[in-house]
Chain A
Amino acid sequence: MKQRSYLALEGITVEFPTKAGRFCALDGIDLEVEKGQFVALIGHSGCGKSTLLNAVAGLVKPTRGAIFLDGEVVDAPGPDRAVVFQDHSLLPWLTVEENVRLAVDKTAGGKNKAERKDWVMHNLELVQMAHAAAKRPGELSGGMKQRVGIARAISMNPRVLLMDEPFGALDALTRAALQDVVMDLQARLNNTVLMITHDVDEAVLLADRVVMMTNGPAARIGEDRAVTLARPRNRLEAIDAPEYAEARSAVIHFLHERYRNPATLAA
């Protein structure tokens, strides 16, 4: 038996039934991710990135293929694969602390009340949101909500952290601040991360590998490029490194030359 990677996607095909017949979103995706690796998935809208992430999360069942995490098959959602949703998905009737606490209560078996509270506050501190623990999501800005969304996910000590376009709805400066938070967390926790993004710079800055997907339907992995920038990373050092420019250029050539946006082709 061959040795599988920490996270292994083998022949993932996802088809959706539609009125016009079966729609094939993903066609036989193979992806291997090592423990502690940060992988960015990039591709044009509608290429099935979210479907792939949801399949790993267990929210979408693949039509064919299997996903292995640490040697075990995953086929249902669970807190070992925490998700940072694009729309943050905080529960508006709970405070920031209660939102994180809900996740901690489901994952912190054996910890007593005081330890759980400390753990909640520790994770809020990691994203610099401890000051807003008593606030409700409605009182926070978009960037702050997403910080809490990240705190909720990492507080679950996930085996894989899944991020679904986490900063897609944020303005450029807030996005940069959140990227710094993620870089800082990655330096401290060394999570295994799968992140979807539309942003080339974000992918290159944050990821160890940029996985580029072809246009859907029946999307596949078109190219898989390692980003060898040293860790821990720093935004200003990174953008001046030759490797950054090379990786960025490779991704842009892929997205705008080899697999152009189907929407712009139509226009």
Chain B
Amino acid sequence: MASPSPSKNGGPSASAGGTPTELGVIVPYPEEAIARRSFEPVAAPVHPLVRIARSMAASALPTVVMIAGLLAFWQLLCGSPSAAFPSPLAVWEQSHDVIMHPFKGVDIGLTHFSIQDGGDVGIAGHVLTSLSRVLIGYSIAAVIGVALGILIGQSVFAFRALDPLFQVLRTVPPLAWLPISLAIFQQAQPSAIFLIFITAIWPVILNTAAGVQTIPAAYRNVAKVLALNPVEYFVRIMLPATVPHMFTGLRIGVGMSWLAIVAAEMVQGGTGVGFFIWDSYNSSLLTDTIVALIWIGMVGFALDRIVAFAGRIIGRAG
């Protein structure tokens, strides 16, 4: 290997079958090898709708398979008549009315809905009652939370004054507020709304404040060079720069609200999906509780997605 040999290194050589010329060796085109190559047949063009449907099916398939497997496993585990926990088929049979008639006692029009007072109300009616409480309490928490967040994000003094208070209060579990809430408001409805408010507000405040505090110095310098006044700075720079953080807080807040409302209604009774669970437990209708759990999970998921979607839309609109 010590002495270099050009022919071994694959250098140009007339013996390779080529034709030597002034510039080098012309190797003949390997027609035979080209003829041997085969190409994949080009797939027939697919209609775009078909393609979309296929890709949706491909992404949903694992979920469907998983759910089917889980249900089968559950059925196997709890299928015997002596099982303490109802099987999926038992849920379907025993809670058929709850599953199939969720809107019993609910009157929904285009612009309004009303829920029958007391008596026999379907699960959707209870969910709507809970949702309306969440909507009120959460809206107040969102408005006040964003305002307080901007205040403590903007002012170092306000931050030092209020942040320790917020840090302590946010660790108080929602249900611990219930006695105080009941003592203040005396009634179920406003105290449930207060509970939602006091649960949802902390993540909104703290995330908004973090958003304001982390506005890049570059944007602040732009505002200074352009000599934006405080109102312009607020509208053109601070709000758009803070929206992503704000919506992180709002998303955490809506999830916590939904957790808190169910717990509060279980304790308070009367109406709402939490009450429905407690009522079905007291009536030994465990299958109804299972249906309610599925509803709660789906609604909580939908709430989270709605807030996330709103955040994306607003963030884009700027």
Contact surface of A with B, Cβ cutoff 8 Å? 57-59, 77-79, 81-83, 85, 87, 89, 91, 93-94, 102-103, 106, 156
Q: Contacts of A58 on B, CB cut-off 8 Å?
A: 224
Top 4 A-B residue pairs of the complex, sorted by shortest distance between their CB atoms: A93-B318, A77-B224, A89-B218, A93-B240
Contact surface of B with A, Cβ cutoff 8 Å? 218-219, 221-222, 224-228, 236-237, 240-241, 315-316, 318
Q: Contacts of A102 on B, CB cut-off 8 Å?
A: 226, 236
Question: Chain B contact residues: over half helix, strand or loop, or mixed?
Answer: helix
**Contacting pair A81 B236 (CB below 8 A):** no
Of B219, B221, B222, most buried by chain A (CB within 10 Å of CB) is B222
**Contacting pair B240 A106 (CB below 8 A):** no
Question: Chain A contact residues: over half helix, strand or loop, or mixed?
Answer: loop
The answer for the CA separation of A77 and B221 in the assembled complex, in Å, is 9
- A-B CB contact pairs (8 Å), 23 listed: A59-B225, A77-B221, A77-B224, A77-B227, A78-B227, A79-B226, A82-B225, A83-B225, A85-B222, A87-B218, A89-B219, A89-B222, A91-B222, A93-B315, A93-B316, A93-B318, A94-B318, A102-B226, A102-B236, A103-B226, A106-B226, A106-B228, A156-B226
Number of A-B contacts defined by CB within 8 Å: 44
The answer for the CA separation of A106 and B241 in the assembled complex, in Å, is 20
Q: Contacts of B226 on A, CB cut-off 8 Å?
A: 79, 102-103, 106, 156
Closest chain B residue to A90, Cβ basis: B222
The answer for the CA separation of A91 and B316 in the assembled complex, in Å, is 12
The answer for the CA separation of A91 and B318 in the assembled complex, in Å, is 10
Q: Contacts of B318 on A, CB cut-off 8 Å?
A: 93-94
Give chain B nearest CB distance to A262 CB in angstroms: 25
The answer for the CA separation of A102 and B223 in the assembled complex, in Å, is 10
The answer for the CA separation of A77 and B225 in the assembled complex, in Å, is 5
Closest chain A residue to B222, Cβ basis: A89
**Contacting pair A91 B227 (CB below 8 A):** no
Give chain B nearest CB distance to A158 CB in angstroms: 9
Closest chain B residue to A89, Cβ basis: B218
**Contacting pair A79 B237 (CB below 8 A):** no
Beyond known contacts A59-B225, A81-B225, A91-B222: 11 more, CB 8 A cutoff: A59-B221, A77-B221, A77-B225, A78-B225, A79-B226, A83-B221, A91-B219, A91-B236, A93-B240, A102-B226, A106-B226
